[in-house]
C-alpha cells in the first residue's frame, strides 16, 4: 500500500516568518508530487506540483523534492494570516493526513 506520511503536529508561525512542512512517501517509483491547501470546511486546492528532484518556486511557495530520500517539502515564505490552513501532501493519487499551519499576526 502506498503511504504518504506527514507526521508533524500543528505548526504555529509568526506573520512574516517561514513555514516549513515535510512529507515522506513509501513508493520509490512515484513520479508526481503535489501540495494542496485546504481551508476549514472547504475542499483541497492545488498550490504546487513537482516532478523532478530539486526546488520549484512559485511566488511565496517553494517545493523541494528528493527522490533518493523519498521526501518532499514545502516552504512558505513571508507567511500571512491567510496562509492559515491545512496543507496536504499528495504523491500520485495518495494523500497524507495533512499538517495544520497557524500564522499568528
Interface residues with another protein (CB under 8 A)?
4, 6, 32, 34, 42-46, 49, 51, 88, 90, 92-98
The least distance separating another protein from the CB of residue 68, rounded to whole angstroms, comes to 22
Q: How far apart are CA 63 and CA 56, in angstroms?
A: 5
Closer CB to another protein, 1 or 69, in the complex:
1
CB 91 within 8 A of CB 33: yes
Q: How far apart are CA 82 and CA 15, in angstroms?
A: 10
Closer CB to another protein, 35 or 76, in the complex:
35
The least distance separating another protein from the CB of residue 63, rounded to whole angstroms, comes to 13
- How far does Cα 12 stand from its chain's mean position? 15
Closer CB to another protein, 19 or 88, in the complex:
88
The least distance separating another protein from the CB of residue 17, rounded to whole angstroms, comes to 25
CB 17 within 8 A of CB 79: yes
The least distance separating another protein from the CB of residue 78, rounded to whole angstroms, comes to 25
Query: Positive or negative, the Cα torsion across 20, 65, 96, 1?
Result: negative
Closer CB to another protein, 43 or 82, in the complex:
43
Give the SS3 label for residue 98: coil
Amino acid at each position: 500500500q502506498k503511504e504518504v506520511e506527514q507526521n508533524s503536529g500543528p505548526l504555529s508561525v509568526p506573520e512574516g516568518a517561514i513555514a516549513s512542512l515535510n512529507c515522506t512517501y513509501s513508493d520509490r517509483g512515484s513520479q508526481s508530487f503535489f501540495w494542496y491547501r485546504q481551508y476549514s470546511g472547504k475542499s483541497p486546492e492545488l498550490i504546487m506540483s513537482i516532478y523532478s528532484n530539486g526546488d520549484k518556486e512559485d511566488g511565496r511557495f517553494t517545493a523541494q523534492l528528493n527522490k533518493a530520500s523519498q521526501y518532499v517539502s514545502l516552504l512558505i515564505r513571508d507567511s500571512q494570516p491567510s496562509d492559515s490552513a491545512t496543507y496536504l501532501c499528495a504523491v500520485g493519487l495518495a494523500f497524507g493526513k495533512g499538517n495544520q499551519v497557524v500564522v499568528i499576526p
